[in-house]
Chains A and B, each alone.
Chain A
Amino acid sequence: MQLSRDELKDAYAKMRTIREFEERVHKEFATGKIPGFVHLYAGEETSAVGVCMHLGDADHITSTHRGHGHCIGKGCDIGGMMKEIFGRQGGLCKGKGGSMHIADVGKGMLGANGIVGGGPPLACGAALAAKQRGTGGIAVAFFGDGAFNQGTTLESLNFASVHQLPVFFVLEDNGYAESTSSDWSIGGHDPVLRARGFGIPGRHVDGHDFFAVHRAAKEAIERIRAGEGPQFLHIELTRYYGHFEGDAMTYRPPGEVAQARSLYDCLAFFRARVTSGSLLDAAILDEIDDETVKLIDKAVADAKAAPPPAAAELTTDVYDSY
């Protein structure tokens, strides 16, 4: 399967945007300018981008604590995202959601989720509605290795299976549910086998390789769109930061992240692959890098300059009418 030059540029730009976005949020958070908690997606870019490249406007996704990457993958506005994370006017959710609940329903992004395992039932519902209404849409439930042990996720696997819903279950296994190893916490140690136990076909893929993720997602989504029912993908990834910003990560072996960054960074791998294969010139990638820095610089500056929500916003948007 060959990606076009435009597709390659788009994939790189999206992954680069996620990385730059998260690296900047990391820096800004350390200055105390960002309220609350943030959970960064850096290192896991292949999943959001490799999956969402196959989605359109009629498709929905549900996300996790670590939702910035999924927003960018689904095409949410970068400026609106940054303002939301800073809790400012003009944020995607008017500054009422923040990092953990960032969403853009109009883009089919049904929200990051502050509850581990909160998303899969919602994805089932979005898929049920798409099937019922004949929109041709599918739903993708992104969830982590922690959520894979939640009842909501297991119920959703069964629910999607018995109703043959057009849902793609994407397990983003970054090795740690908060501080607990997924090698230990996933009973049976074989996520694909677990999905098959629900009658859902699945496969495992190395998430450091964008091309492997993109191909596996393409095949699964084609099967879903062909009416073959729910599919499952287990993506192994590396989380570059803590569970949350401020997590000292003492539970990880010393040097684990540094090694991952130097030996199997997904962006470096992508760059090497496309330049060595003469698919894209390094200069084009450099240009994307420069544009991305400018884009994020502007987003951060705009967010810092934006006013906080008006006091009257405290009690609006609770109900449609009350």
Chain B
Amino acid sequence: MSKKSFRQALNEAMRQEMERDPSVILLGEDIAGGMGAGGEQDAWGDVLGASKGLLAKFGRERIYDTPISESAFIGAAAGAAINGLRPVAQLMFVDFFGVCGDQIFNQIAKFRYMFGGKATTPVVIRTLFGAGTRAASQHSQCLYPVFAHFPGLKVVIPSSPYEAKGLMIQSIQDDDPVIFFEHKAMYDDTEEVPDEPYTIPLGKAKVIREGADVTIVAIGRMVQLAVKAAESLEKDGIHCTVIDPRTVSPLDMDTILASVRQTGRLVVVDEASPRCNIATDIAAQVAQQAFEALKAPIRMVSPPHAPVPFAPELEDLYIPSRARIQAAATEVARYTA
């Protein structure tokens, strides 16, 4: 056990799985970097360096730098998965999903069903997401709701380095296609991460803290904001449960519903655009299945319905803040009909 960054946790997960299973390969743009160039090989180790150092250990036979051709290499990852490999493909930023959408949504997601259960497609698509790095509209989105919409895909969103390692190892070992969302503003976050391999099951939410007054469900980077908000609310006498779903498909509604039945109050924090996001989905399911338990309206904390802006002052306004989470939790805690 030692302190590791989100980046190091991912690197260790991929390295340990590649050591364990020779069918695991990596594909992506600059996944090693420097291919065919005169300078350093493994120059990048993907755009934020999560696969850095793996080239020296596993070689070009297991690590495929690709041209900037998302359709070709995401589709190739699927074809390779059907033919006995376990590819981990990196779609650099999830904002680029549009150029390879067909391969993900119409091919990978549907093989098993369309082929009557005869296809197994154990592919992981790693992808960077999220606002906070001043990368503006085309490099900052939280597009996991789009992927969660598609039956056949699993959608994983780790909220810390520990979560990243365990969920990545599970995702690689999983026999279904997994879209693995990595928040780019969390890459340098550190915490204690075991050195040995471990897995975290997909579809099991984590109850991070328990409190009797309000249930806060938060996704991805929003989890750490929700925990800080809950700690502050203690001083006001408002006791919050914080739940990290870990995966939004499958979504562990049982854990969320059980908590709401105890607290009667729900706040959902989702960095994705507010229409048809995971917060609206959770709110709808709670309203349908636990209406009688609710003591206050459900509150959703999300960005405005606008693209991610560039100017730092605007982007800071855009991203859900600890203050907004506290305000929402306070409102539902003090609500009277």
Contacts and interface: CB of A to CB of B under 8 A. Distances in A.
B116 A129 contact: no
Interface in A103-124: 103-106, 110-111, 113-115, 117-118, 120-124
Interface in A96-155: 96-97, 101, 103-106, 110-111, 113-115, 117-118, 120-130, 132-133, 135, 137, 139, 151-152, 155
A120 B23 CA distance: 22
Interface string B100-122: 00110011001111111111100
A296 to B, nearest CB: 22
Interface in B183-223: 203
A124 B80 CA distance: 8
A155 B99 CA distance: 11
A318 B110 CA distance: 8
B112 A319 contact: yes
A115 B107 contact: yes
Contact of B79 (A97, A101, A126): A126
B129 interface: no
A115 B102 CA distance: 8
A156 B112 contact: no
Interface string B57-82: 00001101011010111111111111
Contact of A101 (B23, B103, B115, B151): B115
Contacts of A319: 112, 152, 154, 176
Interface stretch (A34-42, A86-94, A254-262, A272-280): A86-94
B72 A118 contact: no
B250 A316 contact: no
B83 interface: yes
A156 B77 CA distance: 12
Nearest to B153: A319
B21 interface: no
A320 interface: yes
A96 B84 contact: no
A321 interface: yes
A87 B277 CA distance: 35
Given A125-B82, A129-B85, A139-B79, A322 B64 contact: no
Interface stretch (A158-166, A168-176, A209-217, A299-307): A158-166
B42 to A, nearest CB: 18
A120 B114 CA distance: 18
B153 to A, nearest CB: 9
Contacts of A94: 116-117
A94 B117 CA distance: 8
Contacts, number: 163
A317 B112 contact: yes
B224 to A, nearest CB: 28
Given A105-B82, A319-B154, A156 B75 contact: yes
B114 A96 contact: yes
Interface in B138-159: 151-152, 154
Given A122-B75, A155-B72, A96 B102 contact: no
Most A-side CB within 10 Å, residue of B72, B78, B118: B72
Given A105-B115, A115-B107, A162-B67, A321 B79 contact: no
Nearest to A163: B64
Contacts of A128: 64, 76, 79-80, 85
B301 interface: no
Contacts of B234: none
Contacts of A60: 79, 82-83
Contacts of A321: 174-176
A212 B117 CA distance: 38
Contact of A155 (B23, B71, B79, B203): B71
A191 B203 CA distance: 48
Most B-side CB within 10 Å, residue of A95, A96, A125, A318: A125
A151 B82 contact: no
Interface of A: 60, 62, 91-97, 101, 103-106, 110-111, 113-115, 117-118, 120-130, 132-133, 135, 137, 139, 151-152, 155-156, 158-159, 162-163, 316-322
In the A-B complex, the 7 residue pairs with the smallest Cβ-Cβ separation, listed nearest first, are A121-B75, A125-B79, A94-B116, A125-B76, A93-B116, A129-B83, A317-B117
14 contacts: A96-B113, A97-B115, A103-B118, A103-B119, A121-B75, A121-B76, A125-B81, A129-B82, A132-B25, A133-B84, A156-B71, A159-B67, A159-B72, A319-B154
Given A101-B115, A151-B99, 20 more contacts: A93-B116, A97-B114, A110-B82, A111-B111, A113-B107, A120-B75, A122-B82, A124-B79, A125-B76, A126-B82, A128-B79, A132-B25, A133-B84, A155-B67, A158-B67, A162-B67, A316-B117, A317-B112, A319-B152, A320-B175
